[in-house]
Structures are given as C-alpha cells and as structure tokens.
Chains A and B, each alone.
Chain A
Amino acid sequence: MIRLLFKRLMLTLVVIWGVTTVSFITMHVLPRDVASAMVGPNATPEQLEKFRHDWGLDRPISEQYFNFYSRILKGDLGTSIRTHRSVVTELVDHFPATFELALAALLFGLIMGIPLGVFSALHRNKWFDHFNRVYSLLGVSIPNFWLGLLLLFFFYFKLNVFLPGHLSMHISLKRITGLVVLDSILRGNFRAFVDAVRHLVMPSFAVGLAVTGYISRQIRTSMIEILESDYIRAAKSRGIPFSVVLFKHALKNSLIPTVSILGVLVGRLLSGAIVAEVIFAWPGIGYVAYLSILKADQPMILGFTFFVAIVYSIVTFFVDITYGLLNPKIRHAMR
C-alpha cells in the first residue's frame, strides 16, 4: 500500500514538474516578445526595459528557469495585468465559487445519474433504457454555453424564477467559506439561502447535465455486469428480497467503478464550470479567466492553468487512492 502510494505520489510530482515546465516554455521560449505581451501594447521602451529587468528576462535561460521555480515555490505566480492584484490572491478569492458550482453540479449528476443508470440496467433494451441512452448523448452533445443561454432566456427572462450571478446585490452576507449556500446556512440567513439557491440552479444544471450522462452510463454498464454475476444469483436464490439485493449488493459494488471515472468527471466539471461561469456571470476562476482572455492578461491565464492543473492532479491522486481502498481486488493485491 505504502509503495503504491509512494509511486502514485511520485507520478503526481513528475506531472506537476511537467506542468510547470510547459508553463515556463509557453511563457519564455516561444518566439514571441513576452515583455510586450505582458506590459500591453501601449508600453513605452522604458517600461519594457524595466519589466525585462524586474522579471529577469535579460538573464540567461537556465537562470530564468531556476528563478521561475523559486518564485513558484514561494507561491508567487506574478501580477494580473487586468486588476494589478497578485494572481494567487485572485485565484484564492474566486476559487470557492467555482468549487461551489462544481460540487452542486456533481451532486446533481449523482442524484440524477444513479437512479437513471439503475433503472436502465433493470430494464435493459426496453424503452426506458433507450430513452436514457438518448438523454445521455444529449447531455454530452449539448454545448453548455448554448444550454446556458436557453436557460437564461426561459427561467430568468420569461419566468424570472432563477437568476444569473452569485448573490443579489441587496442581500448582504458575510463571507465564511465563500460558498454562499453554505455561508447562508452557517449564518442562519434564510433570505440569503433562498437567493443563493435561485442563483445556483441554472449553472449547476448546465454543468451537471453532461455529468449525469457519464454517471448513468457507467452505473448501467457495471450494474448489468454485476446483476448477472453468481453472487447476485446466489443471494436471490437464498430468498433475500430483491430490493435488498439491488441496493445492498449490486448498487454498492457498481459504485466502485464509478469512483474511477470521477477523475474524468472532475475535468469535465472544471471545463463546464468555466463556460457556465461566463454565461451566468458566476464569479469563479473560469469567469476571471474569461475576463483575462479578453484583456490578453497572460500571467493570469498561466496562473489559472497552473492552478487548475494542480487541483486536478491532487483530485485524481485522491480518487486513485480511494479507488484502491474501495476495490477489494486492488486492496488485497496491495497487502
């Protein structure tokens, strides 16, 4: 177990090293004047010179590479051109909103996806299964920026039930975690809670729809395999009620392979969140990244990429470990 953990950790470190190196290469080695890109098109030659000197761009490349690492290890990813604030501060400020959205979308995906998958497996090749297949394909094919616009048009503009943004202006809520739904519960502020939920529904649906498809297809596949296995037949023949067999034996085991696709799902959730944040003006890191794209704010974009890659690597690391712990076959092999 410890050896596997160590091996996995080493791979994660190699990946993080690779990610930082790719960032360094895109920033420094590409045949493009970094200084003018960073300072902006209206920079004076003196400003450019100062920037090059400040960032050590006039030093040899090997020294730059070393400096780049010492900066990163100190947690310094540079300064945003757009806001003149530290990139790390921007990311830390806005990450909770993205986390909240991704979590809500994942919950939505699980709540919808698991029952859909189970029913499809039980009624294999019947109309419900076909419906679910088409539904899943719709979920992964629908451009979520387009879905977001449709939702905005009907549920905000026509019906005014759900709202874009994070929290209405007239509601004040002191930040604890940055997750407004959670904060409103912690503060016992019911009005803020209702308002926060009204804002959260549309983006989490827009992101969660694709996730639902992945989860339900995965559950269906593993459920079908498990329902045909000997131990389920044995349990049934012992007269254990079908509902118990289904939920206690089959569903529990079919959730294990689902954990292994969580890594892929997190990538989907983050990508989806970026687009949904743009559509719904949700103040997460994706929205910040979008504003930075418009201003060609390169340090911010690189910081964002780096940050997402680190978060993603850490999550996949824990997913792999959890999978190892949950799966009896792997657990025994590790002993």
Chain B
Amino acid sequence: MPASTERIVGKSSKLREFKLTLLLLWKNNVSKIGLIVIAIFLFVCILGPVLAPRDPYAIDVSLAKIPPGARFWFGTDLLGRDIFSRMLHGAIISLASGLIIVGMGVFIGVTIGLISGFFHRSIGQILMRLPDIFLAFPTLVLAISLAVTFGPSLTNALIAMSLVYWPPFARLMYGETLSIMESDYVKFAKTLNQSPTRIMLRHVLPNAVSPIIIQASLDFGDAILLAAVLGFLGLGAQPPSPEWGAMVAQGRNYLFDFWWMSIIPGSAIFLVTLAFNFLGDGIRDALDPNIRRIKKAD
C-alpha cells in the first residue's frame, strides 16, 4: 500500500473511532450530565462577566448580609457585594487554574518522561527517581509547602500545584516511550541515523499523545478541586478576588448566621468537579475495548 493511501485510511478510521467515543459519551447518562454541566460552566466562564448584574467588587455596607432572594439571587456578603455576580466573575479562575495546572503538569511530565524513556539506560535511571521523590508527598501537603515557601498568591499557588502535578504524567510517558521505542518504526528511524530529537518529537511523542490526553482529562476535576482547597486555605487567590474557594473561606466564620456566603460558592466547586469526574468516568468507559466491541457490532 502506498504511504499516502495508508495515511488516509488511518485518518478516517481515527475519525470514526473519535466519533464512536463521542457517541458512547452521549449515550451514557452519567457522562451526558457531566457534558451538559461543563457546557454551562464554560458558557459562564466566557460570558459570566457580561451577564453579571452587579459589580463584583462594589462595596455597599447598607446591602450587607442579605439572604438569597429575588433581588440578590445568591444573597450578599459581609461587605454588601452580590455573591451571584462574584461567582460569575470567579468561574474563569477555576477553569484557568485547572487548565494551567494540568497543562503544566503534562508539559513537565511529558518532557521528563520522554527524555528518561529515550535514554533509559543512562540519564533516565536518575531522572525517573524524581517522580518517586515527589510522589512520596501527598499532593496537597507538597503543594501547601511550596505555596507557603513562594508566598501566598494565585500565581505562586499555580506554580506550586504545577510542580506537584507532573510526576504521574512523567511515569505514564516513560512507560509509553519505552514501549514505543521497541516498535519497528523507531528502530528503522534509528538505522536511518535520525537525530534523537527528531525521533522523540516525530515518532515517539505523536504516538503517546492519546493516553496522555486521556489521563489529563481524568485529572481535570481533581486539579480544580486542589486549586479550590488552596484558595480555601488562603494560599491561592487573595481577597478581594472572587475565587470560589476563597469565597468559602471568607464566609465560613459566619456559617451559622449567614450560611449562603460559604455554602453557595462551595456548591459551585462541587458541581463543576463532579461534572468533570462524571465525564472522566464516561471517557474511561467509552475507551474500554469490551464496551467498544459491543457497540461496533450494533
């Protein structure tokens, strides 16, 4: 078969596989709910600041502590700021945190895993001890420690979380690289004396992309939750930022008198994390070869 035909066949079958995955996700009630909630969340992230009825930072003490109602849907906080508007503005912080943490985690992890796997007899042996060391800390504990060292701010918290997020990706990429290195096309490329960089970027990396993307999508909900926890502990976004975790922390001392100040922003974190985990669960199922085979036969 000429190379060009092979590429076309390969692409169309890949497209078909992708369509099947989407279909399976939509057929699964759990992941369907996840997809719908995520769609709403993305909508809020993009249009939230436009839709917000009030200025999220406008302080008006005469409007303070108003419970949820027709005028203020989610009530107001201690300084009279509209919680609904604040949450619409804060949505993008959660989304961006998730994207940055997972994105940086993938970038660092893939780089280290790829180099370690390619030079697995020499430098890789040493480099792959790094994830072992990082995984010796529970993620949250290491993130707290780094964030404290860097000083509390959203940027520093994001750096800290990215630094704790890469080890699983490095391990995954290392394993993938090792198995791809055994394939005939990489051996062939080696006999052609192609440079290591070229082999890594042109042959190994593209073939390891899908397991990495899958893992990243499974971790997304977890990353958003971690960011919210750091925000809650006062290590992430600082006041007056409308970050959801920080809003819960600000309201928590007034829980018994003004429950809405902490409970409502917290429920948004819960819903978004749940939606991403619902979707992740559906993705895991949709890629299960047993389920795929049954559906293909239909």
* A interacts with B: yes
Contacts of B274 in A (CB 8 A): 137-138, 141-142
Looking at B66-74, B172-180, B195-203, B251-259, the stretch in contact with chain A turns out to be B251-259
Q: Which residue of A22, A271, A302 contacts B138 across the interface (Cβ within 8 Å)?
A: A271
Q: Which residue of B140, B148, B266, B269 contacts A296 across the interface (Cβ within 8 Å)?
A: B148
Contacts of B142 in A (CB 8 A): 305
Kindly state whether residue A289 has any CB partner on chain B within 8 Å: yes
Q: Which residue of B136, B139, B145 contacts A302 across the interface (Cβ within 8 Å)?
A: B145
Give the docked Cα–Cα distance between A15 and B228 (Å): 29
A12-36, CB under 8 A of B: which get 1 and which 0? 0011101100100011001010000
Those of A268-295 within 8 Å (CB) of chain B:
268, 270-271, 274-275, 278-279, 289-290, 292-294
Closest to B232 in A: A145
B126-154, CB under 8 A of A: which get 1 and which 0? 00011011001111111011101110100
Give the docked Cα–Cα distance between A305 and B266 (Å): 27
Give the docked Cα–Cα distance between A133 and B29 (Å): 12
Given A143-B269, A145-B232, does the pair A267, B138 have CB atoms closer than 8 Å? yes
Kindly state whether residue B97 has any CB partner on chain A within 8 Å: no
Verify A270–B141 contact, CB threshold 8 A.
yes
A163 to chain B, nearest CB (A): 14
Contacts of B232 in A (CB 8 A): 143, 145, 275
Given A143-B273, A302-B145, does the pair A15, B132 have CB atoms closer than 8 Å? yes
Contacts of A274 in B (CB 8 A): 140-141, 144
Verify A270–B259 contact, CB threshold 8 A.
no
Give the docked Cα–Cα distance between A152 and B263 (Å): 11
Kindly state whether residue B194 has any CB partner on chain A within 8 Å: no
Give the docked Cα–Cα distance between A274 and B252 (Å): 16
Closest to B138 in A: A267
Give the docked Cα–Cα distance between A282 and B229 (Å): 17
Kindly state whether residue B270 has any CB partner on chain A within 8 Å: yes
Kindly state whether residue A313 has any CB partner on chain B within 8 Å: yes
Verify A142–B145 contact, CB threshold 8 A.
no
Verify A308–B234 contact, CB threshold 8 A.
no
Given A26-B146, A137-B277, A145-B248, does the pair A312, B136 have CB atoms closer than 8 Å? yes
Those of B148-168 within 8 Å (CB) of chain A:
148-150, 152
Kindly state whether residue A43 has any CB partner on chain B within 8 Å: no
A121 to chain B, nearest CB (A): 16
B82 to chain A, nearest CB (A): 21
Q: Which residue of A134, A142, A293, A312 contacts B144 across the interface (Cβ within 8 Å)?
A: A293
B168 to chain A, nearest CB (A): 11
B209 to chain A, nearest CB (A): 26
Q: Which residue of B133, B148, B278 contacts A301 across the interface (Cβ within 8 Å)?
A: B148
B115 to chain A, nearest CB (A): 19
Contacts of B101 in A (CB 8 A): none
Kindly state whether residue B13 has any CB partner on chain A within 8 Å: no
Give the docked Cα–Cα distance between A267 and B135 (Å): 10
* Interface residue SS majority, chain A: helix
Verify B256–A157 contact, CB threshold 8 A.
yes
Verify B255–A152 contact, CB threshold 8 A.
yes
Contacts of B92 in A (CB 8 A): none
Kindly state whether residue B262 has any CB partner on chain A within 8 Å: yes
B139 to chain A, nearest CB (A): 7
Those of A85-131 within 8 Å (CB) of chain B:
130
A72 to chain B, nearest CB (A): 16
Verify B149–A26 contact, CB threshold 8 A.
yes
B244 to chain A, nearest CB (A): 9
Kindly state whether residue B225 has any CB partner on chain A within 8 Å: yes
Q: Which residue of A15, A141, A146, A298 contacts B136 across the interface (Cβ within 8 Å)?
A: A15
Give the docked Cα–Cα distance between A26 and B156 (Å): 14
Kindly state whether residue A309 has any CB partner on chain B within 8 Å: yes
Closest to B142 in A: A305
Contacts of A16 in B (CB 8 A): 136
Give the docked Cα–Cα distance between A145 and B248 (Å): 9
A150 to chain B, nearest CB (A): 7
Q: List 22 A-B contacts (CB under 8 A).
A: A18-B129, A19-B133, A133-B281, A137-B278, A138-B274, A141-B270, A141-B273, A141-B274, A142-B270, A143-B228, A143-B245, A143-B273, A149-B255, A153-B259, A270-B138, A274-B140, A275-B233, A290-B233, A292-B148, A308-B137, A309-B136, A309-B141
Residues of B that sit less than 8 Å from A by CB: 30, 129-130, 132-133, 136-142, 144-146, 148-150, 152, 221-222, 225, 228-229, 232-235, 245, 248, 252, 255-256, 259, 262-263, 266-267, 269-270, 273-274, 276-278, 281
Q: A18-B129, A141-B277, A146-B262 are in contact. List 11 more A-B contacts (CB 8 A).
A: A19-B136, A137-B281, A142-B270, A143-B245, A143-B248, A143-B273, A146-B269, A153-B255, A153-B259, A301-B148, A309-B141
Residues of A that sit less than 8 Å from B by CB: 11, 14-16, 18-19, 22, 26-27, 30, 32, 130, 133-134, 137-138, 140-143, 145-146, 149-150, 152-153, 157, 266-268, 270-271, 274-275, 278-279, 289-290, 292-294, 296, 298, 301-302, 304-305, 308-309, 312-313, 316
